[in-house]
Amino acid sequence: MATVLHINLEALNEAMVQDLKNQFGPAELEIKVSDKPDAWLTEDEFWQIIALLDWSKTGDDDAVIAPAVAALAALAVGNIHQFEDILSKKLWLLDTRAHAHASLRDRPEAPLSADYFLYDRCAVVANGKAFYENVVQNPEQMPAGVSFARLLSVASKAYMLKTGKAFVHIPAYNYETYQNEAGWPE
C-alpha cells in the first residue's frame, strides 16, 4: 500500500529526508511537484506557444522555434515540464496505424521509419490546434512527407535558456512510434 505525504518544499531539509529514510526504509520514493492549479500551463497556453513558431524563417529550424522557446523560457520551470507533457500526449495520440498509413500514401511500398513518423507527427502539432484536431479525428488528413523534428527540442532549449542546465524530463506519454498500443491493434 502506498503512503502519500504532502510536504511543503520549504520544509524539506536533510533532517526530514533522514526521518523519511528511518520511517520507510528501502521504500521507493516518487516525487511529484505541483504548484497551485492556476499556475499550470493550460492547453490554450500550449497552443499559444505553438502559434509563435515563425514559419517565415523556414529553412532554419532553430529560428522557426526561437520565439516559442523564448516565450516558454519566460514561464516557470514547472511550465516547461508541463509543455513537454502536453506535447507528449499530442504526439502519442497521433501514433496510430491509420496515421502512419496516411503519412506513407505517396510511397505505399516504403517501410515505415519510426523516427520519420515521429517527426511527421511533430509537423502536425507544429501546424496548430485546428490542424492538429482535424488530423487526430481524420487520419487520412495526415500530411505525407512533412516533418518538423525540431519541435522536440522546444522544451529542452527553453529550460537551458532559463536555467543554464540540461533538461532532464521523462514525459507523461511515451511518444515514440508504436507506443500507443490502442493505435496499433494486431
Q: What is the pLDDT of residues 114-148, one digit of tens each?
A: 999 999 999 999 999 999 999 999 999 999 989 99
Q: CA–CA separation, 23 vs 149, rounded Å?
A: 46
Q: What angle do CA 154, 158, 163 make, to 5 degrees?
A: 150
Q: What is the percent of the chain where pLDDT is above 90?
A: 74
Q: Is the pLDDT score of 1 beyond 60?
A: no
- Average pLDDT for the chain: 91
Please say if the pLDDT value at position 26 is more than 70. Answer: yes
Question: What per-residue confidence (pLDDT) applies to 34?
Answer: 61
Per-residue pLDDT for 95 more than 90?
A: yes
Q: What is the mean pLDDT of residues 73-102?
A: 96
CB 99 within 8 A of CB 121: yes
pLDDT at 70 over 90: yes
Per-residue pLDDT at 35 exceeds 60? no
- This prediction has a pTM of 0.81
Least confident stretch, 31-40, 57-66, 157-166: 31-40
State residue 116's pLDDT score. Answer: 95
Q: Among residues of the chain, what percentage have pLDDT more than 70?
A: 91
Counting Cα atoms < 13 Å in the Cβ hemisphere of 131 gives 13
Residue 64 has pLDDT above 90, yes or no: yes
Domain ranges of the chain: 38-183
Inter-residue contact 124 to 143 (CB < 8 Å): yes
Q: Residue 186's pLDDT is what?
A: 82
Per-residue model confidence (pLDDT) at position 96: 98
pLDDT for 36 equals 58
**Which grid cell sits at 115?**
523516427
